[in-house]
Structure 1
């Protein structure tokens, strides 16, 4: 390092990084790519990278600077000569893998993986695998071994010869599973548990059975709570790689012990992963039966946090374990918890409850779920009500609106909510209109919701008025509706607003011009809407004149050339002389955009 040639860019870097101001050093590192470009690829490899490695090993940088170095080097391949020379980035990153600060190590591991994924298998085998094994076998401090855990999946993947394990691949598997996974340090075991799912996706079936599965079982029974929790998070990945009989054995022996663990955090982890585990294992009737018992235990846990965690995964579990179990066991518990005193829990649980419609099926959804929905929409917490309303489209997708009983109860509720005092609730119902139009068809939509259109159009919240017009455009594109429906049912509402005393209501017509011009016929636009918009361009309220300018400019590309030349463009030119500076600005901008 001491014999390194002098170069101005590197001298600048050294001087900047010698500052005691940490932020100055971080800023300097953010310019590392510029410095590398100035140095050239050869000098970056021979001078810059060794300098950084040396300084890291000498502990010259603060944690903040080290994180920045690790992050920048992850996307530094092109500055060292491309993929062929990218392995030269490993030494400084490996040095960062040994530091005490976990955020630095995590970023270094992420960057090594980022670089490593671009390399050939031969490069990984020659440059990364020996480094990974060296880190894994460093005994003087635990941090290198923790970092090594995050590199095994990449290293192993490059060490496989087709479908056959190589000696190097077996060595990697054995080192991870029979050394790091049973390390004396709980931090290393925890890191192995965290990374176990990554390795499970890569290992051969033979090594899963021989090495990884025994380790997984060991970690699930580890004396450290955090190790057990993280091992559980890899359970679905491991189950996806083993046979159904082995899955059942793992569930009934090891997973069951975790469900009964004295630590509530471990039991919560079981609840959080059981949906993913069920998705993988439920193909076997025996496994499905085991999972039903395990999930029921979590539902009835004495800790409310565990019960809620299990309930939050109810929809996923129900999808995997069948309609009967969902109706008889899952639904009653979740519907009870949806009245939890904690508002945040009620929001999530209400969503889960609505999402049970699909797994329990149409008839059960109508019998069990439909009577509960009105109670949920009366919740004192607006977020709970919104959570339920936001699930209406998926619920309607399951039960439909073709039969009278769905129409009577659900549509009555929707019409009631459309006039709710809370604007967020009214807005959420408005957003449903295209879904309802699709389900009800032209006649049904007119019968049940036709009267509500004007209510939405004249709402005192601007967002609702604007989104009403946008949603009407969407409805017009649904088969059976079209421009003629829009002209008959919506245009008259817009025109009626044009003479309203309240300028905000007058603006509804302009919103129609802006958002419906493509959906309406040119004849209706030219005869009914454009003249009113032109008239509003001289309204006494400047904000309305601005909106008129914007609406005319938006509609112009859809209008016939003669209308643009004789009406729209002349009016926009007139507005460039408006007394209000903002009106002039938008008029000039509109003319510029229209060319």
Structure 2
């Protein structure tokens, strides 16, 4: 700690903390309480034990935000109170916080307790921790019993056999608890508990608990049990997984509650990693297929997004055959799903699968599906395809991709959804580079010009940027002949917004087109617009002239540019006057 940050020797840190906690404003008290760790470091271990811990016990009824901060900090207090031999002093305040109504405080207290409990010696575990656990587990309030579930797996390995037997009994009671919240928490901890229990007791105690919770009447508990199945699959023998876990998972794939089925869909890949490869192919594949045709769109989506990862985890020899033979029929159905959300998801899934299938199969199996999706009536589906076409570049090459999808891309360039048009604009420079300059001039130039007069500003703006990218690919000479004259004709458009777009193009393109083009082709159009009846156009002329100063020949500055700016400075519109004055001030010195 630097000298400037050290407290004055006469200052008692505890007095400062106490005064801070007397303030009426909760946020001010929170600021004070967040300094607990720093103050404990200043006080030293002995004073922290004798002064700070009693103070902490007095403030445990404060606002939830305050005690949440206390719960969070106490998890790192073991070293501040003198090490593991004094860790038991942290249990009372954390035990209290683990019983409160607020979920966030209770959760944080339980997490901090796990840290503190792990620091106890084996002897202190039985003297201090186990009694605390049993108090929580037998408390009349479900909040306490919920917190108790968190500590069994930490305590169990470090206590004597008689205490272990009592812990197994206590955990069984929590699995049978009348509160579904407690049963749910017990279910979530069952897998971790099974990892530390002796093998014979896994079969005697854990498996009966598992079977009971797996059939729980509450769908929340059953949902939690999906992840417990993953943990148990890592502990049980393969034949036990076959007899116990798979029947449960098959039941869950047809559960009456969509939340249970969704949880299963979202954890398919984790289940795959937890079991043997043979089980993945035989049992899990069947469950996977059931979920892909689920009645709930969310479940279908949850399963579909796992296809690539599932197949990618298989051995190389099985990846493509399983994908083509076992999943493609379901993918084809989902591409034409009744749900727009499902189809939008499938756009991303199909594109991602190309990385597994390779060039030939992508063209044969996936491109027909992309043609269906890119013509879908839902704009979100079309957008997801066109926005992510670059995923296919490395698989089939942009040349082949462009040729295959070119008619569709041209059609989407005028799509009713402006977001889709925007996505096509983003793809256009690469497409133009692949197809070549001659093809662009014949087939694509009119599309690009059309974007400059789009009714949506974001599309017009993107169209201007697109022109810049095209010039960088085809060169300034091409732009002078093929693009710039067309852009300059926009200065005569009846709609003033499009006349402004003409100016925006000049701003963006002048530096890439060279001094000759800027002076002889662009400047006359800009000067013509300085007489425009719309003030917004005129002040944009002033802004444009200022920006293109460096790209104009010196001979026109005094002869044409400065007189135009002088006239704009005398304009009747104040904004035009200001922008003109700003441009005049920036004129290069003669």
User: CA 1:98–1:135 in 2, change beyond 3 Å: closer, same or farther?
Assistant: farther
Aligned partner of 1:183 in structure 2 is: 174
Q: Which residue of 1 aligns with 2:143?
A: 143
Distance (whole Å) between structure 2 residues aligned to residue 438 and residue 432 of structure 1 = 11
Q: 2:450 aligns with which of 448, 451, 455?
A: 455
Which residue of structure 1 lines up, in the alignment, with residue 103 of structure 2?
A: 102
Task: Using the TM superposition, name which of 563-572 and 42-51 deviates more.
Answer: 563-572
Q: Is the 8 A contact 1:318 1:360 kept in 2?
A: no
Alignment of 1:358-437 (within 5 A): 358-403=355-400, 407-437=402-432
Q: Is the counterpart of residue 257 in structure 1 residue 265 in structure 2?
A: no
Greater displacement, 252-261 / 567-576: 567-576
Aligned to 1:14: 22
Is this contact kept in 1: 2:530–2:537, CA < 8 A?
A: yes
Aligned-partner Cα distance in 2 for 1:364–1:71: 56
Report the equivalent of 2:223.
Answer: 229
SS in 2 for 1:263: coil
Tell me the TM-score normalized by structure 1: 0.69
* Aligned residue number for residue 468 of structure 1: 463
User: What is the Cα deviation at residue 486 of structure 1?
Assistant: 5.2
Distance 1:288 1:41, change over 3 A: same
Give yes or no for contact 1:10–1:35 (8 Å, CA) kept in 2. no
State the partner residue of 2:536: 543
Q: Residue in 2 aligned with 1:162?
A: none
The residue number in structure 2 matching 1:509 is: 502
Contact 1:42 1:81 in 2 (8 A): no
Shift of 1:510: 3.2
Deviation at 1:40, TM superposition (A): 9.7
**How many residue pairs were aligned?**
550
Contact 2:149-2:186 at 8 Å conserved across structures:
yes
- 2:59 paired residue number: 55
Deviates more, 1:324-333 or 1:388-397: 388-397
Change (3 A) 1:300 1:372: closer
Deviations 1:441-491 (A, max 9, x none): 5566556533321112221211101012223444556xx545555555544
Structure 2 counterpart SS, 1:402: helix
Tell me whether 34-43 or 351-360 shows the greater mean CA deviation.
Answer: 34-43
Give the CA deviation at 1:219.
Answer: 4.2
Summarize deviations over 1:93-130 as a string: whole Å, max 9, x none.
553222123233234456779xx6xx9x9799999999
1:412 to 1:282, Cα distance in 2 relative to 1, 3 A: farther
Do the aligned partners of 1:456 and 1:468 also contact (CA within 8 Å) in 2?
A: yes
Matches within 5 A, 1:69-468: 69-71=67-69, 74=72, 95-109=96-110, 136-137=133-134, 138-141=136-139, 142-144=142-144, 146-147=146-147, 183-184=174-175, 185=177, 187-191=181-185, 193-194=187-188, 219=210, 222=213, 223-224=215-216, 225-233=219-227, 250=241, 253-261=244-252, 263-265=255-257, 266-278=260-272, 280=273, 284=277, 287-300=280-293, 306-307=299-300, 309-321=302-314, 322-403=319-400, 407-437=402-432, 439-440=434-435, 445=440, 448-468=443-463
**For residues 304 and 248 of structure 1, do their structure 2 counterparts lie closer, same or farther at Cα, with a shift above 3 Å needed?**
farther
Q: Which residue of 2 aligns with 1:32?
A: 32
Instruction: Tell me the distance in 2 between the aligned counterparts of 1:317 and 1:150.
Output: 31
Q: Which runs of 5+ in 1 are unaligned?
A: 17-23, 157-164
CA distance in 2, matches of 1:176, 1:337: 49
In the superposition, relative to structure 1, how do residues 53 and 445 fare at CA in structure 2: closer, same or farther (>3 Å)? Answer: farther
Contact residue 386 and residue 428 of structure 1 kept, 8 A: yes
CA contact (8 A) 1:510 1:533 kept: yes
When residues 238 and 349 of structure 1 are mapped into structure 2, their CA distance, relative to the original with a 3 A threshold, is farther
Distance (Å, rounded) in 1 between the aligned partners of 2:184 and 2:255:
16
Q: CA distance change for structure 1 residues 112 and 385 in 2, over 3 Å: closer, same or farther?
A: farther
SS, match of residue 399 in structure 2: coil
Tell me the distance in 2 between the aligned counterparts of 1:237 and 1:564.
79
Give per-residue Cα distances to partners, 1:553-585, cap 9 Å, x unaligned: 6677x8699899989999999978765455567
Alpha-carbon offset, residue 430 of structure 1: 1.7
Q: Quick check: 1:509–1:529 contact (8 Å CA) kept in 2?
A: no
Q: TM-score, length-normalised on structure 2?
A: 0.70
RMSD: 5.7
Residues 585, 356 of structure 1: alpha-carbon distance in 2 compared, 3 angstrom cutoff? farther
